[in-house]
Amino acid sequence: MATLDLSGVQKAFGATRVLHGVDLAVADGEMIVIVGASGCGKSTLLRIVAGLETPTAGSVRIGGRDVTALEPADRDIAMVFQNYALYPHMSVAQNMGYGLKIRGLPRPEIDRRVRDAAALLGIEALLDRRPRQLSGGQRQRVAMGRAIVREPKLFLFDEPLSNLDAKLRVQMRAEIRRLQKRLGVTSLFVTHDQIEAMTLGDRLVVMHQGHAAQVATPMEIFERPADTYVAGFIGSPAMNFLEGVLAGGGRAVALRAGPTIPFADGPRPGPDGLPLTIGLRPEHLRLEAGGLPLAIDLAEPLGSETVLHGRLPDGEALVIRLAGPAPRDGTLPVTLPAEHLHVFVAEGGRRLDPAPA
Amino acid sequence: MERKVVFRGKALPLALLAPQLLITIVFFFWPAGQAVWFSFLRQDAFGIRSTFVGLENFTDLFADPLYLETIRNTVVFSTGVTVIALATALLLAVLADRQIRGSGAYRTLLIWPYAIAPAVAAVLWIFLFHPQIGLVGRALNGAGIPWDYKLNGNQAMLMVILASAWKQVSYNFIFFLAGLQSIPKSVLEAAAIDGARPAYRFWTITFPLLSPTTFFLLVVNLVYAFFDTFGVIDALTKGGPAKATETLIYRAYVDGRVNLDIGLSSAQSVVLMLVVIALTAIQFRFIERRVHY
């Protein structure tokens, strides 16, 4: 168990720059989820921590020790791969004991540790099997087991759940979280799935084009996204974005769609007429008499809720999530609640918070 | 998944099989059958009369100390060729598998020797190792190491082994390289993270995962050393000096083609045929059992 510190980590493959300087401080026992769309550099970042890639610049410290120049073998980490990467010619027990054998642990000690880990994961019955005789979920557990027996300083997970079917994924997700809490091992978990990210992480790192767009707890990211990318990436259905300009001396936004909405949480700094992007989560919109007319073009009934897609009079798209059944077509009045506005500067998409009093 | 096509009638399936069957019968079963039949006969030197002698050709063969010597030569020769060809090819493939600049170019270069005819290859080796005109041969003699493969049987054997192995390295290289590239990178990365150093990783992960390829090549190389090295031996040493490099296949040629003892030569062909059948059977049995990872 250890802390992990990344500072100014950069990576370029030839002329292509993949990571543009990532800083991250992970506390002992913390579970950090790195989330982002494919190609954002999240896997590269994980591989740099593992030592499978060398950073172009920056440093990696595990437990205070600079490991940037060390081989994976010398970093005392364990990694779970997306395709499990089990050794196909070894039994489950041999797979799990491989790392221990290399460290020269005595046979009985290896057996004991492998059995303990297998018991923890419920795979005692599989110890003599070969990987090809296992199902996807079982292979996943063996890969976990191989990481656990090593008792490493750091767990790295590279999209370990994406090859599982939906039901098993939810089950393994909960199991990984429970196990990580119980063992208290500092962990990095890479995923492209925002639900996995929200449910697993103590904190999230939202990656975007080689930058860490935001590092914060899941709820913080959900409630106060740092920019329009994070705002649109976290939350399902995605946040609505409407165009507008700063008005009333920074106290309100004049939406292109018509209404001017005063800010509920205080005036924003900046000149009137500053182009803004206003974010509104679908679940915060309400159907109320006197609202903006929304022409519905698609309704998705999901049982406990209904998702309505429509267009405002100025042509901007808007998605609403309503509890229970809802009308499926026609034009409905929709109100935009001032207390749930997310305000971003249109240029660059940074969040614009009220000026401190 | 098994897909079965059922034909109506018998004409079409027979017509489709006929070319393959015809070729097999004309070019394999017929001559093989002839060889088996001739191995029970003894002909006079002019091929006018032949007498049925039963198994006498075979008993003569295995009573001949020179034939037993030929078997020993063949074992030494094929073991040497197989081990050297496989080990060299594996080493080259492991080196070529790394990501280095220009790997495409030298991978192609490594494949070239396979395209060289055995006789040409042999001439190349003569130019290198001939005691008087060869570059290496002269250098060796000049350095005080007596080198003359035309007089020294062991040196002759070493040279035909090297020349034959060299021809086969390219073929093995292609298969080893393909085998190495089909090993998932993540498995090797997992081993690296588990703490395995490159050498340990090679012997505990890469080599076992390569074993189906290695086993296939082992059989192919043995068959090559047994049968396809005639050209190299004939061009380099003609089985000499004093039959030191005479292998089973070369002896069969000498007895049949030079000494015109068709019966004895056929008996040797039958022995060789049994060896191939055994090798193939072993290969299929093991491939069935061991390859499925």
What residues contact residue A128 under an 8 Å CB cut-off, 6+ apart?
A: A91, A92, A93
Mean pLDDT of chain B: 83
Nearest-by-Cβ selection for A102 from B196, B209, B211: B196
Contacts with A82 from chain B: Cβ below 8 Å: 186
- In CATH terms, the fold of domain B57-290 is MetI-like fold (1.10.3720)
User: Could you tell me if B199 lies within 8 Å of chain A, comparing CB atoms?
Assistant: no
- Residues of CATH 3.40.50.300 domain(s) within chain A? 4-232
Residues of A in contact with B203 (CB under 8 A): none
Task: Give the confidence band of B3 by pLDDT, cuts at 50, 70, 90.
Answer: low
Say which of A72, A81, A89 has its CB closest to residue B293: A89
Average pLDDT over residues B226-239: 81
Q: Say which range, A16-20, A192-196, B105-109, has the weakest mean pLDDT.
A: B105-109
- Residue B73 CB-density burial (10 A; 0-12 exposed, 13-18 middle, 19+ buried): buried
**Residue range A37-81, pLDDT digits in tens:** 888 888 899 999 998 988 999 899 998 888 888 888 888 899 999
Smallest Cβ distance to B190: which of A81, A130, A132? A81
CB contact under 8 A, A102 and B200: yes
Task: Find chain A residues with C-beta within 8 A of B204's C-beta.
Answer: 98
Domain A4-232 -> CATH class: alpha beta
Pairing of strands A31-35, A186-191: parallel
Judging by DSSP bridges, how do beta strands A77-80 and A154-158 pair with one another?
parallel
Find chain A residues with C-beta within 8 A of B292's C-beta.
132
Task: Say yes or no for a CB contact (<8 Å) between A87 and B189.
Answer: no
Please tell me whether residue A183 adopts helix, strand or coil conformation.
helix
Task: Quote the pLDDT of residue A309.
Answer: 92
In this structure, which amino acid lies at residue A120? L
Burial B49-65 (b: 16+ CB within 10 A, else e): eeeeeeebbbebbeeee
Q: Which CATH superfamily, name and number, covers A238-345?
A: Nucleic acid-binding proteins (2.40.50.140)
pLDDT of residue B293: 47
Give mean pLDDT, residues B55-62: 79
pLDDT, tens digit (0-9, with 9 covering 90-100), for B104-157: 787 788 788 778 887 788 888 888 888 888 888 888 888 878 877 777 778 888
Average pLDDT over residues B154-175: 87
Domain positions in chain B: 57-290
At A163, the pLDDT band (50, 70, 90 cuts) reads confident
Domain with CATH 2.40.50.140 in chain A: 238-345
Residue B40: alpha-carbon gap to chain centroid: 28
For the segment B67-79, the average pLDDT, to the nearest whole number, is 87
pTM above 0.90, yes or no: no
pLDDT score, position B292: 47
